Structure 1
């Protein structure tokens, strides 16, 4: 397995979410992710509660492959960075255990610098240290 600094990976991972140039964003995705990588998001609690009332026993949201991940990252950029006035940054707490990297991240107001939210990220890496599975827990 190719070794990579867990903090460097966390920082590059977060940078893809704030990259304004679509071509650069796609290139970052292709450098970071395995071709069949999957982004798995635990939705906010209010969405999970609504889904449970409708009889759904799970509520994970998934995007698999470069194209789907690119759409997911682009929509997040448009909503939170471009229109919302936020940026994302990793906390300085990334750790690696074999092929798994765990770190926290923050949503930060560009205008005030205040932390408005954040979460926990668990990345499962392939033998080339590219993201095979990404488990995102906003609010954690």
Structure 2
């Protein structure tokens, strides 16, 4: 097993990092060079595009933070978790569910994202 529930915490930390250089360092450490991220609104490949996507989401939702919505579940090379995105300490208007698949070194190679609740 290369995926653990703690991987979800590291993943959300990367999505919450607002400093571009620090975020890129987290992305480089956590994701494979050719990572593929797909959700209903985005489909990107590679660390540079993923880091750019994270920055774009932060620009769209300034001041919002990602936080876990329950415990992550992992087996073999995959971890699934639900998250909220919203102002710190307030109800989150966005909720999603992600599945991350790791490579043999424990880095995330694929993310399949789903949006369960989004603002209209």
| Shared fold, TM over 0.5 | yes
Partner of 1:21: 19
**2:54 & 2:86 partners in 1: Cα distance?**
17
Contact 2:3 2:75 in 1 (8 A): no
**2:92 & 2:35 partners in 1: Cα distance?**
29
Off by >4 Å, runs of 4+ in structure 1 = none
Check if 1:121 corresponds to 2:120. no
Pick which of 85-94 and 32-41 moved more.
85-94
The CA RMSD measured in Å over matched residues stands at: 1.6
**1:64 & 1:5 partners in 2: Cα distance?**
23
Please list the CA deviations of residues 56-110 of structure 1 after superposition, one character each: whole Å capped at 9, or x if unmatched: xxxxx31101111111111111211x3xx31111223211121111000011223
TM-score, normalization by structure 1? 0.76
**2:92 & 2:49 partners in 1: Cα distance?**
28
Q: How far 1:42 sits from its partner (Å)?
A: 1.7
Partner of 1:5: 4
Q: How does 1:42-121 map to 2 (within 5 A)?
A: 42-43=40-41, 61-80=42-61, 82=62, 85-110=63-88, 113-121=90-98
Q: Which runs of 5+ in 2 are unaligned?
A: none
Higher strand share: 2
Residue-pair matches, total: 117
Higher helix share: 1
Contact 2:80 2:98 in 1 (8 A): yes
**2:32 & 2:25 partners in 1: Cα distance?**
12
**1:116 & 1:38 partners in 2: Cα distance?**
26
Whichever of the two has the greater Rg, that structure is: 1
**2:92 & 2:53 partners in 1: Cα distance?**
22
